[in-house]
A = this chain, B = another copy of it.
């Protein structure tokens, strides 16, 4: 049986500058990276919104990857757009501009036939829209959730209400420190877990790897080392897509499968950043992923 994954996030047109070059209006957005990444494991169903300028070729690319876009609304106006610049440190970026466009006043709606999907990824979004999603997807059994400092600052109470409804909460290191008010990431992870998150807290550290804190174990996994990071955009969402994708494919959530999901998330992130935007997915094969997971195992083993 194919365990679908419902992914609620953005479809965007990104403009990025990195030490390796510049790209304008390329395919981006949290739902894009998460869905493409998850598509190597099972069938993703995107819940999102686009404007009239969203190129057909991107929808064709999703279709080619067997990504379901029936919950993608087409609205009058322009697609959500975003501009950013990265320097030599791939862990630091400067957001140059954000154009909300069709995302403004968008309220997500899930088709009845998709409301029983068991695996749900709530990518970075306003807590209120995430709650709308959680309320609609009555079949959700395993929820991975992401946020960012912007929402932590504005709606801390809503976030505290969401946490006990999610299985895995994702933070990057800065967000985790900011939300928990703890400098040490071990303390930060445990404190966030204590807010009622059902299974675990993941703290991502970019090129330094990621932590997973659960009530029964702690995992500290390094990143897959790369000589060149062409475009760090989408690393976190590709991680999430690989993480939940692996679990949905496996069909069970155990300590062991969570650890393997961390490794698959890590590898999907390492692949994404090798090309601009979502370009890496254009030539990516399943065997490339498997090969790199085995390499990671070798790289850390002793």
Given contacts A184-B228, A226-B186, contact A302 B263 (CB under 8 A): yes
Nearest opposing residue in chain B for A206, CB measure: B208
Nearest opposing residue in chain B for A205, CB measure: B208
Q: Name the distance in Å between A98's Cβ and chain B's nearest Cβ.
A: 28
Nearest opposing residue in chain B for A228, CB measure: B184
Any B CB within 8 A of the CB of A6: no
Chain B residues contacting A229 (CB-CB under 8 Å) are: 184
Any B CB within 8 A of the CB of A66: no
Q: Name the distance in Å between A228's Cβ and chain B's nearest Cβ.
A: 7
Q: How many subunits of this chain does the assembly comprise?
A: 2
Given contacts A218-B299, A299-B219, contact A211 B184 (CB under 8 A): no
Tell me if A225 and B221 are in contact (CB < 8 A).
no
Chain B residues contacting A220 (CB-CB under 8 Å) are: 222-223, 225, 299-300
B209, B227, B259: the one within 8 Å of A302 (CB): B259
Q: A184-B229, A208-B208 are in contact. List 15 more A-B contacts (CB 8 A).
A: A184-B226, A186-B225, A205-B208, A208-B222, A209-B222, A211-B225, A219-B302, A220-B225, A220-B300, A221-B300, A259-B302, A260-B302, A262-B302, A263-B302, A297-B302
Shortest beta-carbon contacts, A-B, top 8: A259-B302, A208-B208, A220-B222, A88-B183, A263-B302, A186-B227, A222-B222, A300-B300
